[in-house]
Chains A and B, each alone.
Chain A
């Protein structure tokens, strides 16, 4: 098997050449070596900041203006590209190596039609006669499983659903017939079911003989498609090997930690369930003609965790806001501690707001950028308490030290921020904590820690959790009971064991089938998700 791509000792540095003024130079990629053969998929795995996207760009000669790239060998399809100038690089890009970037909504020019975007590589490289380009575009769209390709070609990216957009992006990467495809987090912005379809599509391309370099943070994605995997940490490859072997028995400590964190295991839990704290009774909310939430009911008891799972647009975040009293239901009621809640005017609700708190998905935007940690947490502490002492106590509770008191949000890591957000939410001693995708923005290792922390808080304080997430493994890890939402309604409800081990609703079944797990036993059940199956083409509500 001849290598399509050979990389030996790749180095990428950013910043000033010598110790001049300004920031210190950053050594983003060091001594990285790997190869990709035709028809093979190599996955480059790492957490945020590991340099994996920088590697992808360096392979296209697009590491950036401030970057200095060097390599002992950089061979693409038999050509040595180390000494390439701008013109030679352009003949490689699109024609020999195609790029599929993360989110097609921003990776396709929003002001141009899908057809023009797919045609561009063919025009640039002259791979198709001008008169035949239109037909080729349709052909490509059909090949990537886009239904009604003639009509789609005349539409704009924002008019397509996330899945179709990503297919169109793949079509444009394939347009000039490259032998190697670099896919940089190609499914990160997508829902699980769509994610599985896109991965199947990439697998088809691989079977057709295209080499595939997959960049991902998600071991589940990697397990599904990659033949071999390289683990990247702080710019260095710490381990390379066949994917099943690497996931089953990682050798390097970092790979081991990564694999361990990707499989969330629930500790044995014995919830001390007592009285009901939150009762949601047949609440509905619509925006104009669109129903966001329809007749959703559930109860939450002290000390238990209810997980609310669903794909984007299913209405799960709206339920979180209805419970918190940030939105008012059009019909139905929410009762807190057995008393009226949703129908109260804000003036009467305010004194009881301490009882139910909210944790946002992105802790960074949930803090006033000018505030220090101590001010952020103090905002939630009732006036009669000793603020300094209570702030320290809360910091200790979430595992942070007093040295963090005077930092600003931008001086904290993602995990630290989410800990501060939890401390702030705990400040008024709430009985209910509503968590809206609290770990989605975090790396796997940090995610596990934050989930442990939430568990620990619940054990110690007896707080009830309403936990909203799109991530099935997270929901399974943390929930006692689970609600599955689809199109504004709850389609299935039960204990975690019931829902995950014996799902009844077809939607729950398809969700579980599409879910990607990195575990060795995780060969996904073969639910047919052929690329040709047209997914719902309607634009996603925003």
Chain B
């Protein structure tokens, strides 16, 4: 009973605030995108089309553009609740159909990059935490480089030289796992660089805390101290950064997909932004906000698993 309450209360509270954030995101994107100057009908018609006033009027009615803003707003919210994301101005198709085929490759890329980034971070940090100066200096320098290099530029260089010139790896398109290696690495490097540093700082800090002295005084090896005790502490700040990681993955996907000519949501977004295809942009923005909310929720739960102190009633994150 108390176990149920212990877990149910925080979960429900976080779910509620997640829904609030999504609603806010929908509202903000609706407001912002209705500030776009220019007539939407022109976007729908595409360039160099001379349309009769009657046709323009029909399109306006078709997309419900003549209705007052509150009505359009409520219709959009209602649509979201029923899974209807509207119709693309550019392609005339339902937004859901436009996005459907593109989600897979992006998710695949993001997941591969996450795994790689975590691998880079923890391997680098565990190998160098509490070690001598030389190892740390090298690791620190590499991490610094990883966050200072624009990843898309690195991607371009890798793409050109490894794939195009020397044909070591396939680069373009979406053909199997081999084609995933370079894009995922490009996306993972800057994230891994930041995480590695965070994990190492946290490990070093935990190794210097009083409880680490207690563990050493029991006769434990440094490896035991590191793996059985401090690594859990280092996992906490990584969890805190998950929101940032999601953002970096989605933002990075836009660039990586463009560089490697991969299909995916990122490229759809770039096209939609250039052509002011508002329903598609809105849908993508909401989708990323939803991803953010879901990941944060999962991370909050992970927090409760990792840190028993947060399970105490009344304690917030």
**When A62-B213, A101-B213, A106-B209 are in contact, do A176 and B218 touch as well, CB less than 8 Å?**
yes
In the complex formed, the residue of B with least CB distance to A99 is: B217
Shortest beta-carbon distance, A78 to chain B, in Å? 18
A176, B218: Cα distance in complex, Å: 8
Name the residue on A nearest B218 (C-beta). A94
Is A92 an interface residue, CB under 8 A from the partner? yes
Which residues of the other chain, A, contact B308 by a CB distance below 8 angstroms?
110-111, 156, 158-159
Partner of A110, one of B215, B219, B224, B309: B309
**A95 interface residue per 8 A CB criterion:** yes
Complex contact B219–A91 (CB within 8 A): yes
A93 touches B216 (CB 8 A): yes
Task: Flag whether B312 is at the interface (Cβ < 8 A).
Answer: yes
A101-B210, A103-B210 as given contacts; A124 in contact with B220, CB under 8 Å: yes
Select B214's contact among A156, A158, A172, A176, beta carbons within 8 Å: A172
* A98 on the B face (CB < 8 A): yes
A125 interfacial by beta-carbon distance below 8 Å: yes
Say yes or no for B60: interface residue by CB 8 A criterion. no
Contacts of B229 in A (CB 8 A): 109, 111-112
Min CB–CB distance A269 → chain B (angstroms): 42
In the complex, the chain A residue whose C-beta lies closest to that of B232 is A111
Tally of contact residues, A, Cβ under 8 A: 35
Indicate with 1 or 0, residue by residue over A172-190, a CB within 8 angstroms of chain B CB atoms.
1101100000000000000
Contact between chains at B312 and A158 (CB < 8 Å): yes
Q: Mostly helix, strand, loop or mixed at chain A's interface? A: mixed
Distance A173 CA – B307 CA, assembled complex (angstroms): 24
Residues of B within 8 A of A94 (CB): 217-220
Bound together, the chains give a CA A92 to CA B218 distance in angstroms of 9
Distance of A214 Cα from B188 Cα, bound (Å) = 52
Residues of B within 8 A of A136 (CB): none
- Nearest-neighbor residue (CB-CB) of A110 within chain B: B309
B161 at the A interface (CB under 8 A): no
0/1 string, A455-472, CB within 8 A of B gives 1: 000000000000000000
What is the CA–CA distance of A102 and B211 in the complex, to the nearest angstrom? 10
The answer to the question of B48 belonging to the interface, with a C-beta cut-off of 8 Å to chain A, is no
B219, A101: Cβ atoms closer than 8 Å: no
Majority DSSP secondary structure for residues of B touching A: helix
Chain A residue nearest in CB terms to B132 = A65
List chain A residues, Cβ under 8 A from B211.
106-110
Instruction: Give the Cβ gap from B298 to chain A, nearest Cβ, in Å.
Output: 19
> B214 touching A107 by the CB < 8 A rule?
yes
Q: B219 is contacted by which of A106, A109, A112, A124 (Cβ under 8 Å)? A: A124
The residues of B that contact A102 with a CB separation of less than 8 Å are 210
Question: Is there a chain A Cβ closer than 8 Å to B221's Cβ?
Answer: yes
A180 to B155, alpha carbons, bound, how many Å? 61
Does A427 reach chain B (CB closer than 8 Å)?
no
Nearest-Cβ distance from residue A339 to partner chain B, whole angstroms: 38
A136 → B minimal CB distance (Å):
15
Instruction: State how many angstroms separate the Cβ of B212 from the closest Cβ of chain A.
Output: 8
Whether, in the assembled complex, A121 has its beta carbon less than 8 Å from a beta carbon of chain B, the answer is yes
Q: Is A237's beta carbon under 8 Å from chain B?
A: no
B309 touches A99 (CB 8 A): no
Within 8 A of A (CB), among B194-249: 209-211, 213-221, 224, 229, 232-233
A90 lies within 8 A of chain B by Cβ: yes
B312–A90 CB distance below 8 A: no
CA distance in complex: A108, B218 (Å) = 12
In Å, the complex CA distance between A124 and B228 comes to 12
CB distance from A520 to the nearest CB of B (A): 35
A417 to B209, CA, bound (A): 27
- A60 and B217 within 8 A (CB): yes
Q: Which chain A positions have C-beta within 8 A of B213?
A: 57, 62, 99, 101, 107
CB distance A121 to B210 under 8 Å? no
CA of A111 to CA of B306, assembled, Å: 7
- A91: chain B residues at CB < 8 Å are 219
Q: Determine the residue in chain A with the shortest Cβ distance to B230.
A: A109
Beyond A92-B219, A106-B209, 19 additional contacts (C-beta under 8 Å) are: A60-B216, A62-B216, A90-B219, A93-B216, A94-B218, A94-B219, A94-B220, A106-B210, A106-B211, A107-B210, A109-B215, A111-B229, A111-B306, A124-B218, A124-B219, A124-B224, A125-B219, A172-B214, A176-B218
Task: Return 29 A-B CB contacts under 8 Å, by A number.
Answer: A57-B213, A60-B217, A62-B213, A62-B216, A91-B219, A93-B216, A94-B218, A94-B220, A97-B217, A99-B214, A101-B217, A106-B210, A107-B210, A109-B215, A110-B308, A111-B233, A111-B308, A120-B215, A120-B220, A124-B218, A124-B219, A124-B220, A124-B224, A125-B219, A156-B309, A158-B308, A172-B214, A175-B218, A176-B218
Going nearest first, the 4 A-B pairs with the smallest beta carbon separation are A99-B217, A94-B218, A94-B219, A93-B219
